[in-house]
Structure 1
Amino acid sequence: MTSSSQSARDLWRTLRLTLPDLWRAQPLVTAGLFLSGAAQGLLPAVTVLIGKWTVDGVSGLLRGQPVNLAALVGAWVGAALLSQVTAPVTQVLQGAAADHYTLHVNQRLMRRMTELQGLDVLEDPQFHDDLEVLQGGASHRPLNLLSTLVYALRGLVAALSVAATLLLVGWWVPLVVVAGLLPLMARQMQFHRLGWSLFIQKTPEAREVNYLSRVALRHEYAKEVRLYGLAPHLQRDALTRTRAYQRTLRAQRTRGLLTLLPFEALSLLVTGGLFAFVVAQAQAGRVGAGSVALVVTALGALRQELSSLTEMGSLGTQHLSWFAKLHAFLNAPGGVQSPAQPRPLPGDGTVTLCGVSFAYRDQPPALRDVTLHIPAGQTVAIVGENGAGKSTLIKLLLRYYDPTAGRILIGAGDGQTDLRDLDLTAWRAQVAAVFQDFARFEWTLRENILLGQPQDDARLKVAVHGSGLRGVLNDTCTLDTRLGQAFGGTELSGGGWQKLATARALYRGARVLILDEPTAALDPRSEAEVFGTFAALARGRTTLLVTHRLGSVLMADRVLVLKAGRIIEDGKHADLLARGGEYADLWALQARQYEEPVEAALSLSASGG
């Protein structure tokens, strides 16, 4: 089996999966659309026949024979009316069907994203790339495919009906013409697949050029591009790469064009031979002038329709490739899932890890045989160097991943339940979190706090005050102010966004509170204010605080030190300092980072600098 036939089979399979979806999105509109397209496809054949009848009629008039002028005029008017009616009807139906189908596809994408409740699949690089392609094409690929299918149907009906008109010359004529044109059509489809523009290619070279353009044009790169004067370098590099790649494409296109020439010669030989045959038949009096006109117009129309079909086939291949990714995405197996019969949620927030290990895809273990018991209501600080496994531990508790080995138990005593046996939505409803890389939704401040939950004025007030967000609000920035540049909203500072992320966690009122570097973007005064609030809100809640700023661990009942995926120290702040281990070293290192600048400043002042 060749790769090309395999590809064609895959595309055909994708089409068979896609057509039922198209039909289910809007059955009546879709049926009307394809019927209208088929009706349009009959018009070229009707035009060819009217041309033959007109020439035969005029020839008859010149010989003094009667002609049914009313029938000719009626046929011409009917064809013109059909053309004028079907074109706008097709356009209206196509717009309606595309709207419904695009909505249908987007809903399926969003529903599937809801079903993928973990991060294991989403963080697979290939899956992530495919997801970006799907998101980018969801707004136009359904419309493009629909348009291509309608025009392809129209072209197919037109080609078949025009070929059928050649039966009036001889039963063998359509067979000879199609046999002469089909090889050219197949070669033209291969030629179309080369692509006409560098900027629609999907090769590594094309992606490099497109990336250079994005760096030069996108706002997220603007500060460095301007500060370091990167623009001329980017422009030169993009120009050099583009010209080099264009030379490669030019060579490919030239070779493709040269391979077309023999098939063009074959088609011209067939059509030219048929024209000569019909003229000879007319000279011998075996056929009329109308038959000559029919062959001339039919051959031109058939060649045009087959050429259009090759173009539609090429475009359809591109669109179906996108839909192949869509179906693969919709059918991708999900790793983290809620159990079919979940157990009841335990009554308290006690968390126990029993020999938990975890490794990301193709990576060494991030956690190694971690055993840990956190009683309900306890505040635990988790510290350690980058890559120690702190964030991984949080992801496992939120069940974004499942452990590679070991178990995570929720609850105490006889009520302990494996986290994998709980309803995932119910468990996460009991958890509030402030992530280091929190989401910045370009909605109003109020919507950013509520995140789809009903508004409770008392809880909203506590969240705004407790997060320090009250200081952000003023006459020009209220809870109903739109945020973000995409919709012309207000842009908050980094600290303002972090206070907002804290407010949404506080509003949730959950039993388990997770703080992953919650004050990384705050100044010392704001940090002290927020941690004072956290200390109050953590009472009665199981709280995990991941932080690099060791001064913030003073609010914790207990400190865990992670290193290379293992818990190497566990105890109170004072006890760990007295032990003189890893935690004491980290504490002393941070203390020196604050002391050394002060000492340097005092030394500079004493020297009169």
Structure 2
Amino acid sequence: MPYAAGLVTQPSLPARDLWRILRLTLPDLWRAQPLVTAGLFLSGAAQGALPAVTILIGKWTVDGVSGLLAGQSVNLTALAGAWAGVALLSQVTATVTQVMQGVAADHYTLHVNQRLMRRMTELQGLDVLEDPQFHDDIQVLQDGASHRPLNLLSTLVYALRNVVAAISVAATLLLVGWWVPLVVVAGLLPLMSRQMQFYRLGWSLFIQRTPEAREVNYLTRVALRHEYAKEVRLYGLAPHLQREALERTRAYQNTLRAQRTRGLLALLPFEALSLLVTGGLFAFVVAQAQAGRVGAGSVALVVTALAALRQELSGLAEMGSIGTQHLSWFAKLDAFLNAPGGVHSPARPQPMPADGTITLENVSFAYRDQPPALRDVTLTIPAGQTVAIVGENGAGKSTLIKLLLRYYDPTAGRILIGTGAAQTDLRDLDLNDWRSGVAAVFQDFARFEWTLRENILLGQTQDDARLHAAVQGSGLNTVLTDTRTLDTRLGQAFGGADLSGGQWQKLATARALYRDARVLILDEPTAALDPRSEAEVFGTFAALARGRTTLLVTHRLGSVLMADRVLVMKAGQIIEDGTHAALLARGGEYADLWALQARQYEDQPGEPVLA
């Protein structure tokens, strides 16, 4: 079933989905570090209550000063001490919050990354990974996994502080009248709602996920990244990239500027309403003070409380807008974690057949929204046979390999392992057990930036004899020197050594040798090599194939001479099946392909001739 989640493809999530994601995220945050999380939110709530206490101390101080001027006895020292205590408490809680926020964020980030990696392990096929929508989202998830948990945590803490502060500050206005907080909040809440919308418009182009923003980011990436550097310099692309990025940025900024202007104009009526309410309340309190009904402290309280309340509600609007973007990332995370994978191990797997014969019965397969890649393929490969699979691009060769590796399951038909009564549907075998018996060398084999040893073992326990045999049998021993050992780190990202294409090929072959599997798959393994290197590598493959069921997918027909049998594929079907000599004698598709490639070598002195 393809990866799809409608809510993550929308530019802005509905409020109900945001609340749903928040309800899912909070328990997850709690599980990551419960005590620290509890302390963090309590500290944030305490910070939120302090502005109201400060406002009350200010009122009492003004009233005290007024009393002193009137000849009353007032203990202003206690009020000054209380104010200093609140200021100190504010500093302490801010520091404690920062420390606990760092601790909680570290644990939560680790927790989220572990969930991502665990889910990737659970997705045992490629159906989800090769879905275009998933590809976009996994990049977003990967980019955000290091900072989104911290950002969401910070936003939630500050939002809680804003809420507590707004409520407590509004409560201080009860000293003026029971109706005052209600009027003030009613006048400021519409402004806060509009401000939240305006803050979203005010964000920079470069942190939005619009197609235009992605285009600008891509142009910048091409200009800066190492993998594009040779073509960028050879063809003088840098000025073009800079010009294109600048023009697209300016065009989009003009669009944003118009949107921001409209948003600002839409904000003005609500600003006027808030000023009318707050200004009216201030005039009311001043009139009450002139009439002697309230003291100067109440006037000071209203002035400071209104300013603080406006600031807290504005901060809450900003946190709400920012939090929406963080929750959108967590919506993608939730969709990924719950993406249904089409390939999985059976609950009660059947035992692995002793005979490794592979049989395809009327197998068809189509990728999502694509025409069939395989059509009614029926085939038997006896255990220990070496089979070459040839054909033009798009013939279905690599798709056949993906089905045999159970990266996908057939949409029709079945793949059987074994013979006779022990013959078992591949879907009924334990997936890990099946794959543990398969070794593969792919055209696009992974170049892990680990040590040479780790690149061979790939997480398996080291067996010294097998490791030595793999290094010698693959020719990797010719790559090793006094300064380049099995413990040498590879890859530029970590300052490691680099290998040539042929040396990487030997390393990939060593992996397959070390696994000592009963099925060997070679999927265009020498496409990037020159003919001489290819001949050397296939000598290794020929030795590697002995005693194993081997499937060789190749465009270079000279390599099929190592095969016992050749399959020719076209438009998702097997159109020819036989030995090299028999297919040449037949004069069909294979003979035409052989003759075509042979002519390409006839006029190249020093190169091997297909014969």
Structure 1 length as normaliser, TM-score? 0.96
1:312 aligns with 2:319: yes
- Structure 1 residues 20-75: Cα deviation after superposition (integer angstroms, max 9, x where no partner): 10111111110000000000001110110010011111111111111133431342
| 8 Å Cα contact 1:192/1:311 also seen in 2 | yes
How many Å apart are 1:521 and its aligned residue?
2.8
Describe the SS at the equivalent of 1:486: helix
How many Å apart are 1:598 and its aligned residue?
4.2
1:495 aligns with 2:502: yes
Give the 3 Å change call, closer, same or farther, for CA 597–533 of structure 1 in structure 2: closer
1:338 aligns with 2:345: yes
Q: Which amino acid aligns with 2:461?
A: P
How many Å apart are 1:532 and its aligned residue?
2.1
- 2:389 corresponds, among 374, 382, 385, to 382
How many Å apart are 1:464 and its aligned residue?
1.2
- Structure 1 residues 209-262: Cα deviation after superposition (integer angstroms, max 9, x where no partner): 221111111111111111111111112222211111111111100110111111
Aligned residue number for residue 131 of structure 1: 138
Aligned residue number for residue 272 of structure 1: 279
User: Matched residues, percent identical?
Assistant: 88
Describe the SS at the equivalent of 2:136: helix
Give the 3 Å change call, closer, same or farther, for CA 6–101 of structure 1 in structure 2: closer
Please give the alpha-carbon distance, in whole angstroms, between the structure 2 residues aligned to 1:546 and 1:36: 63
Q: Which amino acid aligns with 1:83?
A: S
Give the 3 Å change call, closer, same or farther, for CA 599–484 of structure 1 in structure 2: closer
How many Å apart are 1:599 and its aligned residue?
11
1:23-422 aligned within 5 A: 23-422=30-429
1:433 aligns with 2:444: no
Aligned residue number for residue 469 of structure 1: 476
Please give the alpha-carbon distance, in whole angstroms, between the structure 1 residues aligned to 2:603 and 2:537: 27
How many Å apart are 1:392 and its aligned residue?
0.6
How many Å apart are 1:195 and its aligned residue?
3.4
Q: Which amino acid aligns with 1:522?
A: L
| 8 Å Cα contact 2:363/2:377 also seen in 1 | yes
| 8 Å Cα contact 1:380/1:557 also seen in 2 | yes
Q: Which amino acid aligns with 1:262?
A: P
Describe the SS at the equivalent of 1:393: helix
Q: Which amino acid aligns with 1:101?
A: Y
How many Å apart are 1:505 and its aligned residue?
1.1
| 8 Å Cα contact 2:61/2:76 also seen in 1 | no
Give 5+ residue unaligned stretches, structure 2: 1-9
1:533 aligns with 2:567: no
Aligned residue number for residue 4 of structure 2: none
Describe the SS at the equivalent of 2:603: helix
Describe the SS at the equivalent of 2:44: helix
Please give the alpha-carbon distance, in whole angstroms, between the structure 2 residues aligned to 1:230 and 1:6: 38
Aligned residue number for residue 509 of structure 1: 516
How many Å apart are 1:473 and its aligned residue?
1.3
| 8 Å Cα contact 1:468/1:526 also seen in 2 | no
Q: Which amino acid aligns with 1:279?
A: V
- 1:484 corresponds, among 465, 487, 491, to 491
| 8 Å Cα contact 1:52/1:294 also seen in 2 | yes
| 8 Å Cα contact 1:349/1:541 also seen in 2 | no
| 8 Å Cα contact 1:576/1:584 also seen in 2 | yes
Please give the alpha-carbon distance, in whole angstroms, between the structure 2 residues aligned to 1:519 and 1:191: 56
| 8 Å Cα contact 1:466/1:530 also seen in 2 | no
Aligned residue number for residue 463 of structure 2: 456
Please give the alpha-carbon distance, in whole angstroms, between the structure 2 residues aligned to 1:67 and 1:427: 86
Describe the SS at the equivalent of 1:381: strand
- 1:569 corresponds, among 576, 582, 599, to 576
- Structure 1 residues 446-503: Cα deviation after superposition (integer angstroms, max 9, x where no partner): 0000000011111111111221212211122211111111111111111111211111
1:21 aligns with 2:28: yes
Return 78-87 or 12-21, whichever deviates more: 78-87
How many Å apart are 1:5 and its aligned residue?
11
Structure 2 length as normaliser, TM-score? 0.96
RMSD: 1.6
Q: Which amino acid aligns with 1:493?
A: S
How many Å apart are 1:4 and its aligned residue?
11
Return 385-394 or 520-529, whichever deviates more: 520-529
Describe the SS at the equivalent of 2:198: helix
How many Å apart are 1:77 and its aligned residue?
2.9
- 1:590 corresponds, among 586, 597, 605, to 597
Please give the alpha-carbon distance, in whole angstroms, between the structure 1 residues aligned to 2:229 and 2:49: 55
How many Å apart are 1:202 and its aligned residue?
1.6
Describe the SS at the equivalent of 2:402: helix
Give the 3 Å change call, closer, same or farther, for CA 491–42 of structure 1 in structure 2: same
Please give the alpha-carbon distance, in whole angstroms, between the structure 1 residues aligned to 2:89 and 2:403: 64
Q: Which amino acid aligns with 2:206?
A: F
Please give the alpha-carbon distance, in whole angstroms, between the structure 2 residues aligned to 1:481 and 1:418: 43
Report the count of equivalent residues: 598
Please give the alpha-carbon distance, in whole angstroms, between the structure 1 residues aligned to 2:83 and 2:13: 46
How many Å apart are 1:427 and its aligned residue?
0.5
Aligned residue number for residue 3 of structure 2: none
Describe the SS at the equivalent of 1:193: helix
| 8 Å Cα contact 2:13/2:328 also seen in 1 | no
Please give the alpha-carbon distance, in whole angstroms, between the structure 1 residues aligned to 2:461 and 2:605: 49
Please give the alpha-carbon distance, in whole angstroms, between the structure 1 residues aligned to 2:348 and 2:135: 30
Q: Which amino acid aligns with 1:224?
A: E
Give 5+ residue unaligned stretches, structure 1: 601-609
| 8 Å Cα contact 1:561/1:567 also seen in 2 | yes
- 1:446 corresponds, among 448, 453, 464, to 453
How many Å apart are 1:6 and its aligned residue?
7.3
